[in-house]
Chains A and B, each alone.
Chain A
């Protein structure tokens, strides 16, 4: 079974929040310098699910990621885990692209890869938690879609997908090819092996430009986004400590209630 997995780079979730800067002007979150991005953990689980299918049925796993040449480390991580090929698609305008144009670019790249039985995406990206791209890819390619899958198998020439719902599961069958987004119930992604890391480190990752995938530039970048971000902010929080000391506890509690009322807290 040939599988395409779309993986996204995100700022390392281990970076403490205090190290991020919020740029109010450009409405962007600026991660600290010098710490490379990592693969979105949900996408890592999508790679894991693909590898389980490959272990069982053989085939080829191709990983697609949007970014720059520097993002090849994300693709290489998937190769180290056991994927066969990684491709980076670059475009300066990505940063300002919305989910529609990212999904459009990925759909074009998937068409260029050509042969595939299954497209996997993580359930959402752990940076903005939107969870839209997988669904829009299915729409673009006109393929059946199942979201939040915990397991995928093959039965009678169709895909059997176990979908997580509150307190239980749904099991669907869908014709091949299909798009499936993967839930975190898949469990821990495998650790790369020694030789896996070594061979991934030596592989060249092809970089495709928007021209390589014949993308229509009017559908990508900031100008194509119909949704505009007008404000990005963290509410101001003020912390103050005041110790109320009175003769008796009763007096102190009355004073406390007064203070809280004055502060508008109750």
Chain B
């Protein structure tokens, strides 16, 4: 049974599945290795998936892929201890084909996606962990897994945020907590009709609701609630280094968030189904490893291709797009019979042309900007305080909003500082 593969893809997340599907379809002898009992077994995320890239690969994928709800509404709330200020956006367009985003569960979605790769001819080896790389001089020549040596012309590391393989390949150092956010999430069961009633949804409509505010105790980050068919995904995503420095546990913040009066009413009567935690690479291009070496490429979270703008967190579509670019590169290498570093330099060129590196470049300054603690406590406080002043009727003569704002900011922050932060927003976002 021993054989030499054209390509071994490590990790059956969105990056690895897209990559192995494309190579297998082009006739390459492709092995997809996944350490979980099945693809998606241990994978978690928030879960809003933005569809356009996958739609190119599988037109109208939502008809067959296990999606939960399409995202019709986006809501953002600023929370203080006892107040909240929200804005909501909804568009007819979001409720129509090809939709904009979907809530979904990784355990089902990754399995579906990996099965697609298998149908295209890739060999899926679940329950198998890549333990090391196989070397031929300076060239990566395969992997070691399950006590065996598995040789291949190319290895594509799609092994997620902690990418042990790109470390082994010498493409990057161990990650620092400053480069990462910690995500913790609970799935809470609620009957379908209650979800629709509480969130003002009908049929398969869903909402993506993001929060920033006091519950993170000034730690950069936020929280989310996404609706699934019969459950809510609710979680907190916070800067790992600041958590550690302040000796705070992310799940304590999640508990605090869940108990906020504005949030608790939406969860009432719900039953906890599962709890999970995961890291997210967020330092953007600053932490991106070198993307390839002889016989070796990195894609998805392993290459730190995620985008955080503070309002959204996207990674899956970047993972898929980079997986596709890696696949195209290896297909080309196979055609010309050259898997050297020089030949694989085609990969970053493809990425530069796609949204992957373009978006990361556009938002290059965002990760640093988003470390500003004022965004997470002071500004939500001022905004809520101002709103309170505007809406409170205490029988006294009204004052101009501008004056109220000045009052809300008094002794908290200077206009000059706000101006400087605003200027940074312009640069970063």
Contacts and interface: CB of A to CB of B under 8 A. Distances in A.
Contact of B107 (A35, A80, A195): A35
A195 B37 contact: no
Interface stretch (B84-92, B123-131, B203-211): B123-131
Most chain B CB neighbours (cut-off 10 Å) among A38, A195, A198, A201:
A198
B395 interface: no
Given A18-B272, A196-B146, A198-B150, A34 B105 contact: yes
Contact of A194 (B105, B126, B147): B147
Contacts of A19: 273-274
Contacts of B126: 197, 201
B273 A197 contact: no
Interface string A177-197: 000000000000001111111
A199 B1 contact: yes
A198 B274 contact: no
A259 to B, nearest CB: 28
A249 interface: no
Interface string B111-133: 10000000000011111100000
B6 to A, nearest CB: 14
B31 interface: yes
B83 interface: no
The number of chain B residues touching the other chain, given as a range, is: 20 to 34
Contacts, number: 63
Given A18-B273, A38-B37, A201 B123 contact: yes
A194 B128 contact: yes
B168 interface: no
Contact of B38 (A36, A191, A199, A202): A36
Nearest to B105: A34
Contacts of A73: 38
Interface string B135-162: 0000000001111111000000000000
A12, A16, A32, A197: most-surrounded residue (chain B CB, <10 A): A197
B108 A34 contact: yes
A247 interface: no
A33 interface: yes
B66 A34 contact: yes
Given A18-B272, A19-B273, A192 B145 contact: no
Contact of B1 (A35, A38, A198): A198
Given A197-B126, A197-B127, A198-B123, A192 B146 contact: yes
B392 to A, nearest CB: 38
B132 to A, nearest CB: 12
Contacts of A77: 127
Given A193-B148, A194-B125, A194-B128, A34 B37 contact: no
Given A195-B148, A197-B146, A34 B123 contact: no
Interface in A195-221: 195-199, 201-202
A35 to B, nearest CB: 6
Contacts of B37: 12, 36, 38
B427 interface: no
Interface in A26-83: 32-36, 38, 73, 77, 80
Contacts of B1: 195, 198-199, 202
Contacts of B146: 191-197
Contacts of A191: 146
A113 B105 CA distance: 41
Contact of A198 (B31, B111, B149): B31
Interface string A79-96: 010000000000000000
A34 B1 CA distance: 31
B274 A195 contact: no
B10 to A, nearest CB: 12
A12 B2 CA distance: 31
Contacts of B123: 198, 201-202
A62 to B, nearest CB: 19
B204 to A, nearest CB: 17
Contacts of A199: 1
B406 interface: no
B192 interface: no
A164 B147 CA distance: 33
Interface in B41-90: 66
Nearest to B148: A194
Interface in A93-111: none
B111 A195 contact: no
B424 interface: no
Interface string B166-187: 0000000000000000000000
B407 interface: no
A16 B148 contact: no
Interface string A235-254: 00000000000000000000
Contacts of A201: 123-126
A197 B128 contact: yes
B271 interface: yes
Interface of A: 12, 16, 18-19, 32-36, 38, 73, 77, 80, 191-199, 201-202
Given A34-B105, A36-B38, A197-B126, 6 more contacts: A19-B273, A34-B66, A77-B127, A194-B149, A195-B1, A202-B1
28 contacts: A16-B273, A16-B274, A19-B274, A34-B66, A34-B105, A35-B107, A38-B37, A80-B127, A191-B146, A192-B127, A192-B128, A192-B146, A193-B147, A194-B149, A194-B150, A195-B2, A195-B146, A195-B150, A196-B146, A197-B125, A197-B126, A198-B128, A201-B123, A201-B124, A201-B125, A201-B126, A202-B1, A202-B123
Closest 3 CB pairs between A and B? A194-B148, A194-B146, A199-B1
